[in-house]
Amino acid sequence: MQMRLTDLGVKKLSLAAKGQVTHWDTTTPGFGVRCSSKRKSFVVMYGKERRLKTLGRYPELSLVDARKDARLFIAMQNLSGDPQAKHEYQTVVEAYLNDCRDRLRTSTLKGYVLYLSNIPFSGNIGDITQADIIKGIETYTKSPSSQNYAFTTFKVFFNWAVRRQFVASNPLNALKRPNRNIARDRVLSDEELKTLLQFTLHRRGRFHDIVTLLALTGQRKSEIAGLQWSEVDGDTLVFPPDRTKNKREHRVPLCPQALELLHSVEGGQLHVFGTSSDDQPYNGWSKAQRRIVKETELDHFTLHDLRRTFSTIHAKIGTPIHVTEKLLNHVSGSISGVAAVYNRHSYIDEMRAAVAAYDEYLAKLLSD
């Protein structure tokens, strides 16, 4: 009997009056739930002889875990045989991604797929060398951060392959991440910042509005991407402690250009910038980031580089460092330790003056 297995559907299945009845899942071939007169069990059918393996009893084993176990078991069976057999790289990758699919966040899985599937390797996985992997990473990825992510992805994947005896050893075991200790110092020039802002202000949309607000406010991307109307108090952003990195409430004045952008949002859904009715945080950073770098024809930059650029411009226009740190919500800068304990001045007036000067600087930059 064929059906799309769901939690509610499995729960409602009746036990068999006699014998056994198997309900096969239409979304995962070879996977199903078998109902006897006493119990329900998840099963998987495999091989040319159509053998049946019991994965576990319901409800001790959940549908989600059973489906994951079935996918992995089937993939492993396709790879099984002589322990000395050669295993195709792409086939092992498929088994690994099946194992990851139900236990990892969607964003993490997308990263694994991006690097493992798109960096071209073929043939026996055991023939892939350290040099092959490093060359592939350097050819396919351009930024230090992307190279780090790719390196970590391959190292984790090969550790998994070793545990399942697809390879004898991890070719990357002897290496550390290539850019572990490289601190980013990228600051956009005035001309680059002008190009970027003119582009995002013209191409209105959720990601472009986020980028614009990051450049105008200097705040962290998670704070701006999750912004809601309740956090806008007149001309001030008020981030509650659970939305800040240091778990302290953060108040930051908004410049006129930021206010104009916020009040031009349609629909009153600030957290999605008027583009959707759901209440989900922004996703798809990497893809949108690569697209905007390509479309603006700027040298590679990250969204965090906008925060560094914001700080650099404030230094250029004479904003005192402790005021800049207040705007950025830094707690380990010039006012820290004992000074931070005793100095409870909000610096809100000084921050407003700095924000006004910054806005004037950007206005002149955009008008030139």
Q: State pLDDT tens for residues 330-346.
A: 875 544 443 444 444 67
Is residue 320 within 8 A of residue 348, CB to CB? The reply is no
DSSP class of residue 342 equals H
Q: What are the residue ranges of helices labelled H in the chain?
A: 7-12, 63-79, 89-101, 106-118, 130-140, 144-163, 190-202, 206-217, 221-225, 256-263, 285-296, 303-316, 321-328, 337-342, 348-367
What's residue 40's pLDDT?
Answer: 94
**Confidence (pLDDT) at 342:** 40
User: Distance between CA atoms of 179 and 152, rounded to whole angstroms?
Assistant: 11
Q: How far is residue 59's CA from residue 70's CA, in Å, rounded to a whole number?
A: 16
Kindly list the strands in the beta sheet with 232-233, ordered across the sheet, starting from the edge strand earlier in the chain: 232-233, 236-239, 250-253
Locate 355 and state its tokens. 């924000």
The pLDDT value given to residue 1: 81
For residue 21 the two structure tokens come to: 């009845």
Per-residue exposure over 190-213, b if at least 16 CB sit within 10 Å of its own CB, e if not: eebbbebbebbbeebebbbbbbbb
Q: Is 168 helix (H, G, I), strand (E, B) or coil?
A: coil
Strands 51-58 and 31-35: unpaired
Alpha-carbon distance of 67 to 62, in angstroms, equals 9
pLDDT at 87: 80
Q: Which structural domains are found in the chain, ordered by start? A: 2-62 (3.30.160), 89-163 (1.10.150), 190-367 (1.10.443.10)
Distance CA 314, CA 360 (A): 12
What's the pLDDT score for residue 182? Answer: 45
Please list the residues that pair with 35 across neighbouring strands: 21, 40
CB half-sphere exposure, 232, CA atoms < 13 A: 19
Residue type, 47: G
3-state SS class at 179: coil
Tell me the H-state helices in 61-120.
Answer: 63-79, 89-101, 106-118
At residue 268, the 3 state secondary structure works out as: coil
- Contact indicator for 158, 170 with CB cutoff of 8 Å: yes
Strand 21-25 and strand 250-253: pairing? unpaired
Rounded Cα distance between 62 and 232, Å, is 43
In the block, residue with structure tokens 């998994």: 160
Token pair listed for 347: 């610096």
337 contact partners, CB below 8 Å, separation of at least 6: none
Residue ranges in the chain modelled with pLDDT below 50: 81-83, 181-182, 267-269, 271-272, 274-278, 334-344
Residues paired with residue 44 on neighbouring β-strands, in sequence order:
31, 53
C-alpha distances out from residue 91 to 78, 117, 121, 132, 188, Å: 9, 11, 11, 18, 43
| Residues whose CB is less than 8 angstroms from the CB of residue 259 and which lie 6 or more positions away in sequence, other chains included | 235
